[in-house]
Structure 1
Amino acid sequence: MIRIILGEDQRLLRGALATLLSLEDDIEVVGEAENGEEALSLIQQFQPDIAVLDIEMPLKTGLDVAEAIQHSGGACRVIILTTFARPGYFQRAMQAGVYGYMLKDTDSDELSDAIRRVHDGKRVINAELSLAVWENPCPLSPRERDVMKLASQGLTLQEIGAQLFLSYGTVRNYMSEAISKLGANTRIEAIEIARKKGWLD
């Protein structure tokens, strides 16, 4: 029997998923969570084989939970469900050791099959999502992303420099380069482009 935890903040969708998956002879839903912190708590409590998690939940996202499992060395494997084909999300999911990455409109038979394959140690990645990453690799360097992320939080270039131990001129150059790479005209436009792609998460 494959024991799973469901993490989804939309009650109707969570209930529907739990009902459909429970109809499978070899799958048992042992817990349901409405936010990421609850999901992580249930995972620690029940030690399920697999956690099926919405990528955008309150308190902790599905990716936050996956990273917490990875850092703790937990055996629970994660399948992320998302409505967004954002390259940055996908890259972060792979770094967090996520086994499955699928769209929320996946039918229940396909999800059940994915759960079985992940349980067998295989990775299941939605083709549309992987294509989005292939076609839209992040052009920003790690340092440019750091600068953009802090700028998106409202910090000035001086404040960013202080936080990253960089001079004002260096921060300005990183910001200018990022704006250019993203084809933006302003800092705000560049931040919006990067945020929509999921490159600041």
Structure 2
Amino acid sequence: MIKVLVVEDMHVVRAGLVALLNDAFGIEVVSQAADATEALRAAAQTDPEVALVDIDLPGMDGLLLARELRSRAPGCRVVMLTAMDRPGYVRRAWEAGAAGYLLKSVSPSELARAVRTVTVGVRVVEPRELADAAGAATPLTAREAEVLRLAADGAGARAIAGELFLSVGTVRNRLSAATAKLGARTLVDAVRLAERHGWI
């Protein structure tokens, strides 16, 4: 039996996933969680082989949770199961160490097949077009994306500088560079564009 952890904050969706997977041959849901804290605790207690993780979780998001799971439970393969259909999120999932990326619109048979596939070391992306589009690189450097992500959370240049141990001038330069690279007129437009593509 393949042991699975389901991490989804919406109770009805989580219950549906658990029922679907427990009906699939050779798969057993050994634990479930509504957020990252519960997920890390459950992973430590039940040692799952696969974790199905939503990106949009309260508190720590699913991408950060994927990193933590890969670090704390290296035998657990993480599959993102999300409504986020942007290629940038697929790239970020790979960077976080995820083994799969599925949209919530997949069929029950595709979901079960993906769980089985990642256990043998093969990456899974559904729909396939997302994987192809994810090959297009972000125009932002990692540092530009970092300051833009903090700006998206409402932090000003001074607060970002304090958090990243940079000068205010350096932060402003990176924000300006990111805005210019994205062809945006304002910082707000740059944030919206980067979020729409999943680059931050």
TM-score normalised by structure 1 residue count: 0.88
Contact 1:151/1:160, CA 8 A, preserved across alignment = yes
Contact 1:87/1:138, CA 8 A, preserved across alignment = no
Contact 1:18/1:29, CA 8 A, preserved across alignment = yes
Q: Which amino acid aligns with 1:76?
A: C
* CA distance in 1 between partners of 2:154 and 2:60 (Å): 22
1:88-108 superposed Cα distances (whole Å, 9 cap, x missing partner): 322221112211111111001
In the alignment, which residue of structure 2 is the partner of 1:76?
76
* CA distance in 1 between partners of 2:35 and 2:161 (Å): 35
1:58-95 superposed Cα distances (whole Å, 9 cap, x missing partner): 23322222111222252111111111122332222111
Contact 1:161/1:168, CA 8 A, preserved across alignment = yes
In the alignment, which residue of structure 1 is the partner of 2:172?
172
SS in structure 2 at match of 1:52: strand
Contact 1:85/1:132, CA 8 A, preserved across alignment = no
Contact 1:118/1:124, CA 8 A, preserved across alignment = yes
TM-aligned CA distance change 1:184 to 1:46, over 3 Å: same
Identity of aligned residues (%): 41
> Offset of 1:165 from its aligned partner?
4.6
TM-aligned CA distance change 1:171 to 1:53, over 3 Å: closer
Q: Which amino acid aligns with 2:153?
A: Q
* CA distance in 2 between partners of 1:170 and 1:61 (Å): 28
Q: Which amino acid aligns with 1:193?
A: L
SS in structure 1 at match of 2:51: strand
SS in structure 2 at match of 1:151: helix
In the alignment, which residue of structure 2 is the partner of 1:129?
130
TM-aligned CA distance change 1:163 to 1:41, over 3 Å: closer
Q: Which amino acid aligns with 1:104?
A: K
- Structure 1 window deviating more from structure 2 (147-156 vs 45-54): it is 147-156
* CA distance in 1 between partners of 2:49 and 2:163 (Å): 40
- After superposition, the CA RMSD in angstroms is 1.9
In the alignment, which residue of structure 1 is the partner of 2:120?
120
TM-score normalised by structure 2 residue count: 0.89
In the alignment, which residue of structure 2 is the partner of 1:5?
5
> Offset of 1:22 from its aligned partner?
1.1
Q: Which amino acid aligns with 2:29?
A: V
TM-aligned CA distance change 1:149 to 1:20, over 3 Å: closer
Contact 1:6/1:52, CA 8 A, preserved across alignment = yes
Q: Which amino acid aligns with 2:171?
A: V
Gaps of 5+ in 1: none
In the alignment, which residue of structure 1 is the partner of 2:152?
152
Q: Which amino acid aligns with 2:54?
A: D
In the alignment, which residue of structure 2 is the partner of 1:106?
106
* CA distance in 2 between partners of 1:144 and 1:86 (Å): 19
* CA distance in 1 between partners of 2:155 and 2:20 (Å): 46
* CA distance in 2 between partners of 1:16 and 1:111 (Å): 12
SS in structure 2 at match of 1:140: coil
Contact 1:62/1:80, CA 8 A, preserved across alignment = yes
